[in-house]
Amino acid sequence: MATDDNTNTESQPVLGDQPSQVQFQQNEQQQPPPKSSLNQDEPEEEPYLDIPRHLRYWKMCIRAPLPHVYLSNESSRLALAYFIVNSITILTPPPSQRTADTPEPLISREDKKLMRKWVLHHQHPTGGFVGTSSMVFPLNGHNTYNSSGKEGTSEDEPEHHGLANISYTLFALQLLALLADEEDEDPEAAEKVFEGVNRKGTLRWLKSLQREDGSFGEALSDLPGYGRFIAGGYDMRYCYIATAIRWILRGDVREGDPGWVEDIDVERLRGYILSSQTYDRGFAGNSQDEAHAGYAYCAIAALTLLDQDDLDDPNFLLPPTPSDLLCCLDALTKEKGPQGAVEVAFNGRTNKTADTCYFWWVGGALANLGWLQGYDNDGEGPSNGQPPQKESLVDRASARRFLLTKMQHRIGGFGKSPGSPPDLYHSFFGLAVLGLLGHEGERDKLRRFDAGLAVPKDVVGVIEKARKRLVERDGLGKSEIDDGREGLVEMGLELRGGGGGGGERPKWLGECGY
C-alpha cells in the first residue's frame, strides 16, 4: 500500500517505463476529453466513467498474464488479487440492480469458490496470511504454538512463523468478503465467508506485532544472535492495517464473553497516532517529519475504526484544513466556449504533482472526517460514530472532472499522472474515490464505497455478518481452520510429508532451514 511519489514502498509498479505490447499499440494518447457540442453556445457534456471500457481492462488483468513488469510482485499476489477483485466488484452492480443489458459478471460463482480456496491457502498455520502461498512453509513445529501462555498450553513458537505479514492478512480478509456469492439464495451464505479463518490465532499474532510505544510492525523475524524482533519500519500504514484487521475479526467482545481473545493495547496505539501529528496538523511517521496525505488517511481511518472521540475534538483538525492534509494541487480554469470548467487535483505533499492515488488518500481522510461531499457519509460503515456530514472541503464535480479527463485512460483503468498508462494500483484507487464522490447518472453508477475498510459498502455488511458467525463459533469451540495443509501443491511439489500428503522434503531445499 503505497503513499508516496518518490519512495520504493509502492506495492504495484507503474507501467509507464515498460508498457506491454498491447499498451504500446493503444496508449498513443490519454482518454480523450468529452465530446464537444457542435453549438459552442451550449455547455459541454460532463465527463463520465466509461464502465464497459474499464471492465474490459480488468477482464484483461484477471484472465490474461500480467505484463512482465509485475514479476517483481511474485511475493505480493494477494495484493494484486485485492486490487483486481475489488475493482471488478465496484464496477459490477449487485444482483438486485442488474438488468437484461447488464453483462455477465467477470468472476463467475464457480471462480469465486476457487479463488476463495486459493486465498485460504495463504493462511499461515499460526495465524495471519502470507503474500504468496509458497511462503506458508515450512510447517514443522506449528502444532505446539499458543501465544496465550495459559495453563495446559505451550509457549513454544514455531520456526519461521514470522512469514505471516500484516498487509497480506488484511488483503486476504478483504478478498474473502469480496468473493462472497451474492447470487446464493441461502440466507446464511454471507455469514460463511470467513469459514476456515484462524480468528484466534490471527488476533494473537496481531497482538505480537505491537511495539512498546503502541506502533505496529509488519511481521516477526529472527536475527541470528539477536533473537526474534518485530520487523518493518515505524509506519502509520501498519497501524491502520492493524485496526482494520482487529475490526474485521474481533468485534465488540469483552473479556469473559464467548469468543474473547487478548486485545491489542488500544490506548498505546491511540497515543502513538496522536503523537505523530505535525505542527501544521497533518500526520507523518513522527511529529518531526513532513506531513503526508497517505499517513493522514491511515491515522484518521485508524482512529475511525477504533471508534475514538479524537475526531470530534475541535482542536484535532480545524477548517480550513492545512494544505498538507487537503493537498489541493490546483484549481485550473479551462475555457470551453463561453463557459469555464474548474478542475481540482490532489497530491501527497506540498508542491508535488497530481497523482490518482492521492485522490483516495485525501478523499478517504476527508470522508472519514465528514468533510467530503457525496452520498458516502451517511453514518453507515465500520464506525457507527462517523462524524456527521459537514460542509464539503472539496468540490465533487471539479475533482471528478480532473480524474475522468486527465487520469482515465482510453483502454480503461487510470494512470498515475496525466499521460501515464494504467496500472492495477492507480486504476483501483481511481474507482475507489469515485465510489466516494458519487456519480452523475446511471451510466457511470458505481457501488457505494466505504472510506474506512476500503471495500464497497455492501461488502462491509458481509464482513459484519461473517464476523458474528466466526465469534459465535469460536465461543462454542467449533471453528474450522483451513491452513492449506490438505491438497495444496505449490509449483508442482508436495512440500509436506505425512498427514496424508505423502510428499517428501525436496533435496534442493538443502539445510537452509526451509
Query: What CA–CA distance (Å, rounded) separates 123 from 120?
Result: 5
Candidates 356, 360, 384, 389; CA nearest to 372 is 389
- Tens-place pLDDT, residues 402-458: 899 989 999 999 999 998 999 999 999 999 999 998 876 666 789 999 999 999 999
Instruction: List the single range of 91-95, 311-315, 414-418 with lowest mean pLDDT.
Output: 311-315
Name the H helices within 370-456.
Answer: 396-402, 424-437
Confidence (pLDDT) at 445: 85
Give the CA angle between residues 74, 111, 201 to the nearest 5°. Answer: 60
pLDDT band at residue 343 under the 50/70/90 scheme: confident
CB-side neighbour CA atoms (13 Å) of 280: 18
pLDDT at 332 over 50: no
Confidence (pLDDT) at 310: 57
pLDDT at 44 over 50: yes
Q: If you search the block for the grid coordinates 488479487, which residue do you land on?
A: 81
Q: How far is CA 33 from the centre of its chain?
A: 30
pLDDT at 38 over 80: no
Domain boundaries, the chain: 268-326
- The cell numbers describing 410, all together, are 482510453
Query: What CA–CA distance (Å, rounded) separates 88 from 63?
Result: 12
Q: How far is CA 312 from the centre of its chain?
A: 25
CB-based contacts of 11, cutoff 8 Å, min separation 6:
1, 2, 73, 76, 79, 167, 425
Query: What CA–CA distance (Å, rounded) separates 319 from 132?
Result: 43
Query: What CA–CA distance (Å, rounded) separates 30 from 218?
Result: 37
Q: Tell the burial category of 478 from Cβ atoms under 10 Å away from its Cβ (0-12, 13-18, 19+).
A: exposed
H or E segment and range at residue 343:
strand 339-346
Confidence (pLDDT) at 344: 77
Residues of the chain with pLDDT > 70, as a percent, come to: 67
Q: If you search the block for the grid coordinates 488518500, which residue do you land on?
A: 361
pLDDT band at residue 61 under the 50/70/90 scheme: very high
User: What mean pLDDT comes out for the span 374-382?
Assistant: 42
Confidence (pLDDT) at 473: 87
Mean pLDDT, the chain, whole residue set: 75
pLDDT at 147 over 60: no
pLDDT at 8 over 60: no
Higher pLDDT, 390 or 211: 211
User: What mean pLDDT comes out for the span 218-244?
Assistant: 89
Confidence (pLDDT) at 422: 94
Query: What CA–CA distance (Å, rounded) separates 513 from 388?
Result: 54
Instruction: List the single range of 40-44, 443-447, 507-511 with lowest mean pLDDT.
Output: 507-511
pLDDT at 47 over 60: yes
Confidence (pLDDT) at 479: 63
User: What mean pLDDT comes out for the span 200-229?
Assistant: 90
Confidence (pLDDT) at 75: 85
Distances (CA, A) of 433 to 105, 338, 399: 22, 30, 10
pLDDT band at residue 382 under the 50/70/90 scheme: very low
User: What mean pLDDT comes out for the span 305-333?
Assistant: 50
CB-based contacts of 60, cutoff 8 Å, min separation 6:
22
Residue positions counted in the chain: 514
User: What mean pLDDT comes out for the span 483-501?
Assistant: 40
Between the ranges 12-16, 75-79, 394-398, where is the mean pLDDT highest? 75-79
Between the ranges 352-356, 360-364, 429-433, where is the mean pLDDT highest? 429-433
- Tens-place pLDDT, residues 16-32: 333 333 333 334 344 44
User: What mean pLDDT comes out for the span 324-332?
Assistant: 37
pTM score, whole prediction: 0.79
User: What mean pLDDT comes out for the span 187-210?
Assistant: 93
Confidence (pLDDT) at 43: 52
- The cell numbers describing 417, all together, are 499522472
Print burial letters for 283-313: b (CB count within 10 Å at least 16), e (below 16).
bbbeeeeebbbbbbbbbbbbbbbbbbebbee
Confidence (pLDDT) at 56: 95
Query: What CA–CA distance (Å, rounded) separates 368 from 383?
Result: 9
User: What mean pLDDT comes out for the span 284-303?
Assistant: 89
User: What mean pLDDT comes out for the span 186-204?
Assistant: 91
Confidence (pLDDT) at 202: 95
Higher pLDDT, 306 or 371: 306
